[in-house]
Structure 1
């Protein structure tokens, strides 16, 4: 079977495969003063995740047409309508605020037959026969009841009175409305208290100090240096490579005898003619294919799915969000071992420790004066050597 080639000249709608000038799925758009991100709407409403493809097809194949946008917007609005209605219904139901109407008993009117004096006996018999013929048209189940009624209602004497009325049927007593049994209202479930998380002690548990932060997260502080790490794995990697001087495990190349670390393997394979994972938009190379996809989502499509609850800024990763949230907090987790001064950022602590150790890496090229911070060197040049640099 011959393969067909699909040539895309314009943007491609990933929902209906139409071609034209469309909107990007990840770029936020404003509709009726409301911001919409179509990739998020597909994920939240229809549970569909449409990933972009790497390479030069990334930009032109990650779009959606106006017709599909309208249908997607209607689906989201309908889902929200159903959720709101169901929530309101269940709220009223549990409050016993919903009641049904009782059906009323319908009582038929009584049949009244009057016979005047000017009718003869034959006429009376004719009326009775006519009544019986009319009753024959009724159903079989009603026929027996009507015959019994005829014997009682139309009993005719030789000397009829001025008027004769049928005996009225006893009125059916209305049935009492059924007593509704009130259902016991469901008691709200008690929230189960979170079980205390057991601390996992690794192989090098004696080499770090575990710190508990105000937001519930943990930090692993190295006892041999000022390093602080978010996970036990990060600390273990630091302790092995920095303090134990253990190098990362090398991976052998299947085309030669060279062994390289895992993060360098893709770049080594380029020497054998196998290209490393590369971004088709900017040409940047990466060690792993998943890094290319993450790079394109963040830098080329502007995808930011982690908003700050305080200032509503959006970030590309959860790590960047946590880093930003420190600006809204007064907590300073990095403390100096010499003067007990605390800092919000790890980089600030490292610069501060250099003051105690007397490390001055920034030197003036004119007078050879050395400083701890680069900002101090710039201030020195501005004041002492204006116009000389």
Structure 2
């Protein structure tokens, strides 16, 4: 019986040791190897981990259930990154982060979607990807109630409310709400066009522009006008087109109102246009013009 108890504790310690490598924030994901997300097992682990936390950080008073986790936590204050990639010399605060990062070099993608067979280098990437199939958007903006599939997308969105633009170009001082927008912007200065069409070898600075361009080869026109059923390869072309309907409607309304205004005097006998030269009144300005000749 005692032997069984030892085995259970050993198993528990092993399980905790494996999990504690990524037990930091369940809403974050591995991006450049510095962030993690794991599934339901982490939630279960955290619920048991909150029972007793005798190890407290002397800098922020956060508490932890093991000295090892406290030691790793303290690196967030010191900035220490003792785990270094031997291929690109990038450093990480945890061995688990390094392990995930190394898959960039090896190309290993052990986590595969069972619905579309797309593969990922880490479990967090798969979990987020699965939301494209389920439509799940668990992160809600408390200001406008928009929902997002990723916490990072919510964080970026919130900056549209606050006006915060923390990413600034060092060449022209233009600022952006997220790092990817800044990265895309910098290509303007370098003239780089890294996105090349595989059918005509035309190159583009933005992947979105390449995507639109490819529709000239496929004939795809996904943006359709709901008034005349004309289709377009990009949304801005549709918007320009829709203005023609707005103008046509305005022109028709203007024309109709002008015609009504001219017609009404035939019933009332009113002659609102007065000619100072002949001292005559006319129902229509054109008739007054004819009088001058």
Q: How does the TM-score come out when normalised to structure 1?
A: 0.27
Q: How does the TM-score come out when normalised to structure 2?
A: 0.34
The structure whose Rg is larger is: 1
Bigger RCO (CA 8 Å, 6+ sep): 1
